[in-house]
Amino acid sequence: MSRLVAIVGPTATGKTALAVSLAERLGGEIVNADSRQVYRGMDIGTAKPTADQRARVRHWLIDVTDPEEGFSLGRFVEMAGGALSDIWSRGRPAFLVGGSGQYVWALLEGWRVPRVPPDRTLRRELEALAEREGPQALERELAAVDPEAASRIGPRNVRRLVRALEVYRLTGQPISAWRARRAPDFDSLIIGLRCERQELYRRIDGRVEAMLAAGLVEEVRNLLARGYRPDLPAMSGIGYRQVCQHLAGELSLEEAVERIKTETHRLARMQHTWFRADDPRIRWLDVTGGDPFARALSLVEGFLLAKLRV
Q: Where are the chain's structural domains?
A: 2-111+181-309, 120-179
Cβ-Cβ contacts under 8 Å for 292 (sequence gap 6 or more): 14, 18, 193, 285, 286
Closest residue by Cα to residue 68 from 222, 240, 223: 223
Q: Read off the pLDDT band of 277 (50, 70, 90).
A: low
Greatest distance between any 2 Cα atoms in the chain: 62
Could you report the per-residue pLDDT of 160-207, keeping only the tens digit for each?
899 999 999 998 889 888 767 788 899 999 999 999 999 999 999 999
Separation between Cα atoms, residue 200 and residue 194, nearest integer Å? 8
Looking at the predicted structure, is the pLDDT value of residue 120 above 90?
no
CATH class of the domain at 2-111+181-309: alpha beta
* Distance from the first to the final alpha carbon of the chain: 9
Q: Which stretches of the chain are assigned E, i.e. beta strand?
A: 2-8, 29-32, 59-60, 94-97, 186-194, 282-286
- Give residue 26's identity as a one-letter amino acid code: L
Cβ-Cβ contacts under 8 Å for 201 (sequence gap 6 or more): 265, 268
Order of strands, sheet of 186-194, starting from the edge strand that comes earlier in the sequence: 59-60, 29-32, 94-97, 2-8, 186-194, 282-286
CATH T-level fold of 120-179: Histone, subunit A (1.10.20)
| HSE toward the beta carbon, residue 91, CA cutoff 13 A | 1
Outline where 1-67 has alpha helix (H).
15-26, 51-56
Cβ-Cβ contacts under 8 Å for 203 (sequence gap 6 or more): 12, 13, 195
* Helix (H/G/I), strand (E/B), else coil: 283: strand
Contact 167, 179 (CB under 8 A): no
- What's the Cα-to-Cα distance from 107 to each of 32, 54, 155, 256, rounded to whole Å? 12, 23, 26, 34
186-194 and 2-8 strand pairing: parallel
Closest residue by Cα to residue 106 from 191, 175, 38, 33: 33
Could you report the per-residue pLDDT of 26-80, keeping only the tens digit for each?
999 999 999 999 999 999 999 999 999 999 999 999 999 999 987 888 899 999 9
Separation between Cα atoms, residue 43 and residue 61, nearest integer Å? 13
Give the lowest-confidence range in 12-16, 231-235, 283-287, 291-295.
231-235
DSSP state string for 186-247: EEEEEEEEE--HHHHHHHHHHHHHHHHHHTHHHHHHHHHHTT--TTSGGGGSTTHHHHHHHH
Could you report the per-residue pLDDT of 6-24, keeping only the tens digit for each?
999 999 999 999 999 999 9
